[in-house]
A = this chain, B = another copy of it.
Amino acid sequence: MDKGKDVTIYDLAEKLNISVATVSRALKDDPVVSKKTKKKIFELAEEMGYRSNNFARNLRTQRTNTIGAILPRLNSYFMSTVIAGIEHVANSQGYNLIISQSSESGEKEQQCARTMFNNRVDGLLVSLAYDTDTIRHFDSFLKKDIPVLFFDRCAEHDQITSVLIDNRKAAYEATKHLIAQGCRRIVHITAHTSRNVYTERLAGYRQALEENQLPFDGSLIIRNNLSQEAGYEAAKDILAMPRLPDGVFVANDNCAVSCMLALKKQGVSIPADMAFVGFNNDPVSMVIEPNLTTINYPGYEMGEVAARYLISHLMGGAPMTATNTVLLRSELIIRDSSLRNP
């Protein structure tokens, strides 16, 4: 067929001898059209190489039925569960999801935002990159009334709702638990960033120390990128400390696990010498021996809630501006890595 010229819904309607309206509805997956008819239309559309004219359709309906998600990295169990939750809701509501990755770079995040904007997504879900210091790149969406919602890694904005857990409280519980297990010198391993999740966890750690009359000691704070490699490095830093700590609270499980492995190799006994608590409840926390005490982070629910908010708004529900923050529950899961007096 002619590669230059695009096939139109008129061509499809004519060929199948049905109304253009039916074809158009079918292509939008409108339930009023029977599965059987849709199948016929989709098959012909595939065969003739039809592609919906997003541009023209936008001028008419301002809809593409596509949601965009910009994520910092796709390499964590937590993020994969969030995506599963988003997809579950998006699919059930007839929305497609396209994802792009900022690779923790604010500059890349701006490119991703441009791509999503040019793809005319109906709404955008964002978890901010490590080093994002401005969120002005979302203004173009808001100007067009395209809703933007932050989850997990959030920033304050009067037109953007944030869906997250109470990171401060979760970290407070984790640290309080270590103190209750007799820990007095507790290392906190966190990220080099001012992202909300990490500053809040640090604040919760600090609050627990203060409430228990333990001094806050900056030399016990280790900052890295929380990767597996960073965990091995952190173990070296810990072993190099003039006085060894008796507890370690790490801002994610991956880093906690590799740190534990390295310390075990050096003969450190966990939890007797050092009690460990991680964050996220990744499956690896049940593989490491002793099993890792951690914070159960409801990724799937977070994805569902974020997508439900965005879509209900797209379907004419409550304005996003009405809600500032949605906090999800998280809980401390106590396992052997921190249990000193079982």
Contact = CB atoms under 8 A, between A and B. Distances in A.
Interface of A: 1, 3, 42, 45-47, 49-56, 64, 66, 73-75, 77, 79-81, 83-84, 87, 91, 96-101, 103, 108, 110-112, 114-115, 117-120, 136-137, 139-140, 143-145, 228, 254, 257, 261, 283-284, 286-289
A52 B140 CA distance: 12
A112 B83 contact: no
Most buried by B among A98, A101, A108, A144: A98
A101 B108 contact: no
13 contacts: A46-B139, A46-B140, A50-B140, A54-B55, A54-B119, A64-B118, A75-B77, A83-B101, A87-B101, A96-B111, A99-B99, A99-B100, A289-B289
Given A45-B140, A46-B140, A75-B80, 15 more contacts: A3-B145, A46-B137, A50-B140, A51-B140, A74-B99, A75-B84, A83-B101, A91-B108, A96-B100, A96-B112, A98-B98, A98-B100, A98-B119, A228-B283, A289-B289
Given A97-B101, A98-B98, A100-B98, A118 B288 contact: no
A99 to B, nearest CB: 4
